[in-house]
């Protein structure tokens, strides 16, 4: 087990390193940020002076080496625009993103898994067809559009909930529903097909013949065995959600990481972008790590391997 963990940890380091490297060079392709920060009437020699001050006049590999050297020590530099520590700007946004992501995922799971199980159990009934139909629509609806419709109905027309911003529980309702819609649809479809797969297995038929009660049949025998693909999916979705749901955060003015990164990218505030990528890469890697351990719990065969 220790071997397994060490190996996985090395993988985490590699993933983070590669992600930072790729993003470092990709954002440089977008050009030099100094032109965006200085007033448009700045003379050429001033632009050069700032390039020197910020280090953008050095060869790219020197900038890269310098960046990596500092990043290893946890120093991602200062925001080019405001001069504040880039990493702490990103970390300040994490709680808001966590809150949104975990709530959306939680809501998705408690709705989707029972729905998926029921759908599979009542296969080809009206209930099943309706639930499949609705989930297809749910997956097809664009996030931003659904968000705007919710705002229009619940904030602008009924005035039940605030349209935007963060701070209270009521601010959380609409963005969580918007985010959950997509995950719910995916989870329901996945749970249903995984359950169908398991329900057609011999051992289920045997248990049924042996007189096992339906609830036990589904909950203990079938669901547990169909959980593996669902765990993968949930882990992936959580990674996506924690990376910042850029569109949903923008529509609802949710002050999370996604918006910060999007804005920093548009402003070419490179240190913030790289600090954000660092955090997100770590989160992804850690979630995958946890998912692997959960597999082992759900399926002892993996543990043995």
Partner 1 sequence: MLRKKGVIAFLLVMVLVLAACTEGTNTDSTSNQSDSGEDGNGGPLVIGFEADASTLMANHDVNYTTDTLIRNIYDPLIDREGETGEFVPVLAEEWENIDELTWRLKLKEGVTFHNGAQFNADAVKYSIDYILNEENGSFYRSRWANVEEVVAVSEYEVEIHTSVPFPSMIQRIAEDLLIVEPGYVEEVGIEQASNEPVGTGAYTFVDWSRDNHLKLVAYEDYWQGSPDIQEVEFRIIPEFSARMSAFMSGEIHLFKNIPVDSVEQFDSEEIGEIASSRINYLALSNLVEGPLQDVKVRQAINYAIDADELLETVLNGYGTRITGPLSQINSDYTETEDYGYDPDLAVQLIEEAGYDPNELTLTLDTPSGRYPMDSHVAQAIASQLQSIGITVNVQVNEWGRHLEKIQNRETGDMYILGWGPAFDGQSTIENLFTQEAPYSSFYQEDIEEKITQTNQLFDQDERKAGYEEIQQDLVEQAAWVPLWQQADLYAISTSLNFTQRVDEKLNVYEMSWK
- List of residues contacting partner 1 (CB under 8 A): 30-33, 35-44, 46-47, 50, 53, 79, 81-84, 89, 92-93, 95-96, 98-99, 102-103, 106, 144, 148, 151-152, 155-157, 159, 161-171, 250-253, 255, 259-260, 263, 266-268, 297
What's the min distance (Å) between Cβ of 119 and partner 1? 24
Contacts of 74 (CB under 8 A, 6+ apart): 87
Smaller CB separation from partner 1, 80 or 188 = 80
What's the min distance (Å) between Cβ of 44 and partner 1? 6
Smaller CB separation from partner 1, 15 or 148 = 148
DSSP run (H or E) holding 255: none
Task: Report the candidate in 110, 115, 91, 259 with the shortest Cα–Cα distance to residue 175.
Answer: 259
Q: What are the backbone angles phi and psi of residue 85, rounded to the nearest 5°?
A: -65, 125
Smaller CB separation from partner 1, 133 or 142 = 142
Smaller CB separation from partner 1, 72 or 169 = 169
**How many whole angstroms separate alpha carbon 71 and alpha carbon 65?**
10
**How many whole angstroms separate alpha carbon 150 and alpha carbon 185?**
18
**How many whole angstroms separate alpha carbon 252 and alpha carbon 147?**
8
What's the min distance (Å) between Cβ of 128 and partner 1? 28
Cβ–Cβ < 8 Å for 90, 275 = yes
Smaller CB separation from partner 1, 148 or 196 = 148
Smaller CB separation from partner 1, 70 or 170 = 170
Task: Report the candidate in 26, 15, 66 with the shortest Cα–Cα distance to residue 265.
Answer: 26
What's the min distance (Å) between Cβ of 86 and partner 1? 13
What's the min distance (Å) between Cβ of 31 and partner 1? 5
Give the dihedral sign, CA 28/19/66/79: positive
Helix, strand or coil for residue 175?
helix
What's the min distance (Å) between Cβ of 49 and partner 1? 8
């Amino acid at each position: 087990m220790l071997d397994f963990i060490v190996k996985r940890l090395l993988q985490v380091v590699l993933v983070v390193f590669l992600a930072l490297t790729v993003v470092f060079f990709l954002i440089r392709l977008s050009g030099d940020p100094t032109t965006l920060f200085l007033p448009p009437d700045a003379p050429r020699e001033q632009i050069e002076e700032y390039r020197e001050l910020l280090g953008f006049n050095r060869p790219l590999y020197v900038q890269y080496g310098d960046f990596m050297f500092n990043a290893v020590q946890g120093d991602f530099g200062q925001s080019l625009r405001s001069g504040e520590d880039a990493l702490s700007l990103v970390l300040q946004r994490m709680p808001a993103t966590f809150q949104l992501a975990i709530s959306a995922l939680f809501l998705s799971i408690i709705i989707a898994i029972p729905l998926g199980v029921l759908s599979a159990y009542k296969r080809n009934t009206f209930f099943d067809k309706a639930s499949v139909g609705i989930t297809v629509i749910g997956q097809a609806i664009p996030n931003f559009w659904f968000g705007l419709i919710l705002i229009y109905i619940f904030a602008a027309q009924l005035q039940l909930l605030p349209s935007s911003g963060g701070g209270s529980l009521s601010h959380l309702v609409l963005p969580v529903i918007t985010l959950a819609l997509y995950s719910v649809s995916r989870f329901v479809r996945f749970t249903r097909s995984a359950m169908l797969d398991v329900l057609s297995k011999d051992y289920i038929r045997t248990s049924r013949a042996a007189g096992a009660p339906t609830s036990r049949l589904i909950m203990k025998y079938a669901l547990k065995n169909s959980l593996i693909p669902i765990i993968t999916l949930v882990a992936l979705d959580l990674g996506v959600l924690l990376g910042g749901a850029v569109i949903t955060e923008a529509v609802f003015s949710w002050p999370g990481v996604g918006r910060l990164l999007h804005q920093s990218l548009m402003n070419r505030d490179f240190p913030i972008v790289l600090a954000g990528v660092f955090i997100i890469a770590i989160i992804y890697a850690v979630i995958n790590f946890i998912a692997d351990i959960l597999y082992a719990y759900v399926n002892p065969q993996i543990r043995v391997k």
